[in-house]
Amino acid sequence: MSETTFALVDCNNFYASCEKLFRPDLVAKPVVVLSNNDGCVIARSKEAKALGIKMGVPLFKIRHLIEMHHIQTFSSNYALYADMSARVMQTLEEMAPAVEIYSIDEAFLDLTGLEASSNLAEFGYTVRQRIQQWIGLTVCVGIAPTKTLAKLANHAAKEWSKTGGVVDLTSKERQRKLMALLPVNEVWGIGSKLSKRLETMGIHTALQLADAPPKLIRQQFSVVVERTVQELNSEPCLTLEDIPATKKEIVSSRAFGERVTDKQQMHQAVAEYVHRACSKLRSEGCQAKQISVFIRTSPFSDFSKDPYYTNSTSAELTYPSDDTRDFLIVAAKLLDRIWKDGYRYAKAGVMLSDFYAHGIYQQDLFTTPKSAESNSVLMTLMDRINEEHPNSLFFGSKGTVQDWKMKREQLSPSYTTSWDGLAKAR
């Protein structure tokens, strides 16, 4: 047996499951969750999948199916999904010695050494049962010596109901049996382009990839694909990253619910995005020195009637900062630089980059440690108030009437993060 053992825990149909959790009347009924501005399908319940609803399909193309099958549609409720994800991850952290949060609905667990005292499959069923009982969501668990094999195990746990939602691939024999059944494009990191190239070489299944000569794979592809082959052969190349990597940049952007033609409204939108980006920056414990602002019209419009325009520009602060006020001043000047009248803008955003840890960069002569410290206290207090009472404290530059905000006409209540959103008896 390999020296390492990983488990991948993945929530089933996460966004749709979060919506159904607080709506008992939707049990066994089809549900879809829509993207920003209620444009496309980004999540489906198993019932919606059974009706042939595809990921990414525009809402207007499935109106007939929605009416025919009484499909319930929801706007994306990111606050709800983030809170439910935090509950799942906290539960996992109480059950495993180390956890890597891979995405909002997935986490790798380090189970190395656990097989000496516990049955790994039973542990997987315990994880599944506890999250179902404590949180109300269903997860599948894949267990294997490497992350790549754990991904395949998790896929099998979802695909075949007879597994009970848990697949243990610590056995070499079971690994090869499963890999023989799965097409090569089901392997983690093997996308459609890579899979087509592999198929021209006669590699159609995960097992055939695992049995391919590593030297040949490296010559034809890259060291990344070579490591994937090693992982498929129970040779761990990917470790557990229990400390999330620091972001290299932070982007805050949204498509507008209505086209923006007024410069003042655009200034308000950019100020809103600066506010969000700086809040994320502070949560990362970093400061940034560079900010970029971009605006664009819709690339999908009829250009003869709705001309296309896009532009972006950047600037550096004198010194790194995490103070929203510093970035608001610069962002307003950047927007003035690229704004053009006569266009119907569909999207805007800001990006913060060039990050520094606190205290690493030398302050300029006009900023004393005392003033920098007071600024930090003010921003921390602002974040704390907004965490407890969302959007209750903000800078006036983002405005109070935001007609440009994205459409969320079918937004569910904030069941877990607001007293007003608590579920009520029907």
- Output the pTM of the full model: 0.74
**Residue 228: which CATH number?**
1.10.150.20
Q: Can you tell me the distance from the alpha carbon of 333 to that of 292, in angstroms, rounded to the nearest whole number?
A: 11
Query: Among all chains, which residue has been given the structure tokens 């516990």?
Result: 118
- The last residue of a domain, from among 183, 206, 232: 232
Tell whether 241 is covered by a domain: no
Measure the CA–CA gap between 139 and 9, rounded to whole angstroms.
6
Total length of the chain: 426
Residues 304 and 209 in one domain: no
Q: Where are the beta strands (DSSP E) in 218-336?
A: 249-260, 286-297, 310-321
Check which CATH number belongs to the domain holding 367 and give it. Answer: 3.30.1490.100
Q: Whose CA is closest to 246, among 298, 287, 188?
A: 287
Residue 99 predicted with pLDDT over 60: yes
Instruction: Give the DSSP letter string of 309-367.
Output: -EEEEEEEEEEEE--HHHHHHHHHHHHHHH--TT--EEEEEEEEEEEEETTTSPPPTT-
Residue 1: pLDDT band (50, 70, 90) is: very low
Summarize the confidence of residues 21-38 as an average pLDDT: 90
Average pLDDT over residues 45-71: 93
pLDDT value, residue 275: 92
Backbone phi, then psi, for 65, in 5-degree steps? -70, -40
**Residue 77 maps to a domain:** no
Tens digit of each residue's pLDDT (9 = 90 or more) over 299-321: 888 888 889 999 999 999 988 88
Q: Containing domain of residue 342, as a range? A: 249-398
Summarised one tens digit per residue, pLDDT across range 245-268 is 666 788 888 888 888 999 999 999
Q: Which residue has the higher pLDDT, 65 or 215?
A: 65
Number of domains in the chain: 2
